Amino acid sequence: MRIPFVPKNVMVQRDRFDFIQQYRGGGFMLIAGSIYWLLAFALTYVLDETILIKFYIWGGLLVPIIGILFFKLMKMKANPSQYSSLVGFASAITVCCFPVLLLVNELDSTKILPILCIINAAHLIILCWIHLEYLYFILVVVGECLSMFFIYSIPSEFVHFICLVWGLISLILGITIHINSKIPLKGYDYQIIDKVNSI
């Protein structure tokens, strides 16, 4: 989906276009993330609270592994790119926020999931720009609003339902991005720049 505040006739460098095309807009990683959230919801009814909280905090480290498995299973191939490094840096935001989650756990463990949802949504902002995909921006806004709703309006005994809601939203939008990106930059009248002129 085209970003409304980006010109329709956008110019895209060849390596960036190849990255968007080869990684299919990054939808497979959203699908991988949704697996973590849906699993967290299911495990709420199975695990002891102490173990469950540890899974909430550290279980997100499974997402890159699941994402790589999806990448291999879908038989996707990609060339080395500077943009893959940028995506890696964006994903590192969640790892850097582990101390925040540990602090929240000390103060009020029922707020871990909404805070984690805020962190998860925030790191998607960079993907909106990299892939020129407006659905990422929508996902960020929905994630932030959903988190605030669960923090201030939902009783703590129902807070785990944020996993179900956020997991399903991530799954649906991940599949949508993956399907839409079969035709890269749909909605744009883009021009590919093969070489940047040097002065």
pLDDT tens by residue, 30-71: 999 999 999 999 999 999 999 999 999 999 999 999 999 999
Whether the pLDDT of residue 196 is over 80: the answer is no
Average pLDDT of the chain to the nearest whole number: 93
- pTM given for the model: 0.92
Is residue 41 within 8 Å of 165, Cβ to Cβ? no
**163 or 81, which is more confident:** 163
pLDDT value of position 84: 87
pLDDT value of position 198: 47
Burial category of 183 from C-beta neighbours within 10 Å (exposed 0-12, middle 13-18, buried 19 and up) = exposed
Structure confidence by residue, pLDDT tens digits, 73-125:
999 998 888 898 888 888 888 888 899 999 999 999 999 999 999 999 999 99
Residue whose token pair is 């990448």: 71
In angstroms, the CA 56 to CA 41 distance is: 10
pLDDT value of position 93: 84
In angstroms, the CA 160 to CA 164 distance is: 7
